[in-house]
Structure 1
Amino acid sequence: MNDNWKKIQADIGYGAQSLAVYAQNPFKSRGRLFPEPESPTRTPFQRDRDRIIHSSAFRRLKHKTQVFVYHEGDHFRTRLTHTIEVSQIARSLARALRLDEDLAECLALAHDLGHTPFGHEGEDVMHECMAPYGGFDHNAQSLRVVTHLEHRYAEFDGLNLAWETLEGLVKHNGPLVDDAGAPLGKFKDGELPFAIREYQRQQDLMLGTWPSGEAQAAAIADDIAYDAHDLDDGLRAGLFAIDDMREVPFLADILAEVDHKYPGLEETRRIHEIVRRSITRMVEDVIQEGVLNISELDPQNVEDVRTAGKCLVGFSPSMIAAEKEVKRFLFARVYRHEDVLSVRRLVARVVRDLFARLLAEPNLMPAPWDRGLDSLDDTSKARRVCDYIAGMTDRYAIEEHRRLFDDTPDLG
């Protein structure tokens, strides 16, 4: 980092003196896989944020959906609007806890880059299709996007992001392996996803430790945004009524608060008041819990955060229980609603058909995906097809199905 620029940053209040000792200091980054000259005007994490925003994968989030598909209306969330909401919450948490806001924002912006079209249904089907070839995981695919699939720069594939960004992207939910190197969590009965294993051979991301506080802030921000916007979208779609939320104590309390303060409020404003209060309560809970955890641990540097043995930035025990009830409600009322399931069955068929056809005839993929196929083994061909489909937007997947098949389902 240029010394003059460091002074400018310090003069405007940015730098080590404005961060807590346990924050990830941008001036102490471990660097990039491919060395580059430092930017004279941006920290490494500001630079990473900009690279992510300007990437092709980020733009495609506009036409990838969460629960609802694109035709259902402009007011429902897409992966892009969700990502922006996560970014806002992550920055708020980082600011309150004196963490590096740019790194937290960077991780929030990148966290969904690897998602398939059609939300979690697309991911489930892709994992099913890729089961003989190492499976599919959207978080690992996000790593693959930013380290391999983006082809923008003359000197390297991917975005060549800082080590701290890649580390946080891969393990924002916690360690991936134990002290002996055995996979943990959802991977404990198998092996780590292909993309993570492949990249780990190039650069050690310390898979056995917790990530930085900034990554933890981005992860919990994702949960907060998900719960809030699925409540909002579910209500607006008519999948459940406002009064149905009374069965969840956390939501019932908020509903009572809104109705007491604003009796007779019109429904759209009532919904917004409920949703924004949900976000506020969760955010404030994370901040309070984070302050408590940090005070108890008294970390003196970011490595103390990584080796703390637990998450420091997350919900309190009471909010963990409340949030689980919210998720149970959403599962029953939204994710398993017949209107949603009927669409999920149709889009599952689209992804399944595309994978089977393109695996059998990979030359049907457009350039550059059809290049060098003769040199690939079966697993590598399957991964090529997987990468191609995973990068599709909802619309493009439907268009490709229509190009290759005569019986594309009508989602309208």
Structure 2
Amino acid sequence: MLAPYACQPDASRGRLFDEGMSTFRSPFQRDRDRIIHSSAFRRLKHKTQVFVEHEGDYYRTRLTHSIEVAQVARTIAGVLGLNTDLAEAIALAHDLGHTPFGHTGEDALARLMEPYGGFDHNAQALRIVTRLERHYAGFDGLNLTWETLEGIAKHNGPVIGPNADPKHAHDPEDLPYALAEVNAAWDLELSTHASAEAQVAAIADDVAYSHHDLHDGLRSGLFDETDLMDLPVAGPAFEEVDRLYPGLEKMRRRHEALRRVFGRMVEDVIHVAQNRLAAAQPQSVDEIRHMGTTIIRFSKPLYQELKAVRSFLFHRMYRAPSVMEVRAKVTGVMDALFPLFMEQPALLPPEWHEDVARAEDETALARVVADYVAGMTDRFAIQEHARLFDCAPVTEGA
């Protein structure tokens, strides 16, 4: 039984291209399945989170991260009486628009695309699911439901208007072009909050990366367990494990502590959401959208503690000298590939030539090139750079 404020499958606003109902699957289950079977989702296997894909088999990639986010989203959504299929679909799609080399690649491509309308990975995810996936006879994209598209666009909150978070806000007259295109075709109500399911997907993203970046940082040797003992959330988790299992073997101790960090975050989100929902008593998903604030969030005390954890990760992991060295190298790859394809678009694969021919001006061409470069995996971008510039791979010997 779904709560009254959940997205009801039979009340979906439907798809841009009508297909009728599936015999065996709800609209949101169908969305989830299409995302899983998309080419862009498969490519996430070789797109990095923090470490470049070749650096080790145990580090998270965008694919494993997306699966972990989906698991957290299903858990939270299920407890709250929300539509778990919709929450999972949005979670699985939330990183489809990421470039190779994680945020380093996105920063580089955003800079390169600044003269042509910029680049935003959330907007690019929409471009992928509405335009760039080309497998179906009747339409481009995946023809997802309105609710899933809304969740991709607004899972971090309203995009425009007074309730938009300044970190994610845009001028209504200057939206990322990929977002503007989709919104023009089908109004996503960008000034309102998204459904509770989309909010769950967003907080699940925070939970997943806060947990797994600690794990990956430990595995990489950029810091060790001793460094975490003075941190909020992490330190008490290790202390509890030491009290319950004195002398526990190192890897088991690490796992037991980090699963407690994970559990505390999930339990906190559920507890806060239950209290806020009980107080607000929303009777529809539209009431959730128009509350003017998020209903799914961390408690203030935990949020402050997680800020300290993220500050630690920023300085000790994301900006560690070894990571920065690789960041500089892969930024060079992006800085070389993009202008080369702009100058010589014939170098793009044959299946992209029709898009190039349709490009009416330099901006349109730049967007085609950005679509291609953004879709590259870490491995492929490194290999293409080495091939096209007749040089050794930039990560050789790293």
CA displacement 1:78-136 (0-9 Å, x = unmatched): 11110110000000000110000000000011001000011110000000100100111
Residue 225 and residue 367 in structure 1: after superposition, are their counterparts in 2 closer, same or farther (change >3 A)?
same
Residue 308 of structure 1 corresponds to which residue in structure 2? 291
Find out whether 1:281 has 2:264 as its counterpart.
yes
Q: How does 1:10-409 map to 2 (within 5 A)?
A: 18-178=1-161, 185-188=167-170, 191-376=174-359, 377-407=361-391, 408-409=393-394
Letter paired with 1:398 = I
CA displacement 1:366-405 (0-9 Å, x = unmatched): 1211225344210010000000010011111111111210
How many aligned residue pairs are there? 394
Q: Distance in 2 between matches of 1:147 and 1:98?
A: 29
Q: Distance in 2 between matches of 1:284 and 1:86?
A: 15
SS of 1:151's equivalent in the other structure is coil
RMSD across aligned positions (CA): 1.5
Q: Distance in 1 between matches of 2:232 and 2:261?
A: 12
Q: Distance in 2 between matches of 1:182 and 1:270?
A: 41
Q: Structure 1-normalised TM-score?
A: 0.93
Answer whether contact 1:46 1:102 (CA < 8 A) is retained: yes
Deviation at 1:273, TM superposition (A): 1.2
Deviation at 1:360, TM superposition (A): 1.0
Deviation at 1:406, TM superposition (A): 2.2
Q: Distance in 1 between matches of 2:106 and 2:274?
A: 36
Deviation at 1:183, TM superposition (A): 9.4
Residue 118 and residue 177 in structure 1: after superposition, are their counterparts in 2 closer, same or farther (change >3 A)?
same
Q: Between the two proteins, what is the percent identity of the paired residues?
A: 55
Deviation at 1:259, TM superposition (A): 1.2
Structure 2, gaps ≥5 residues long: none
Answer whether contact 2:158 2:164 (CA < 8 A) is retained: no
Q: Distance in 2 between matches of 1:78 and 1:293?
A: 34
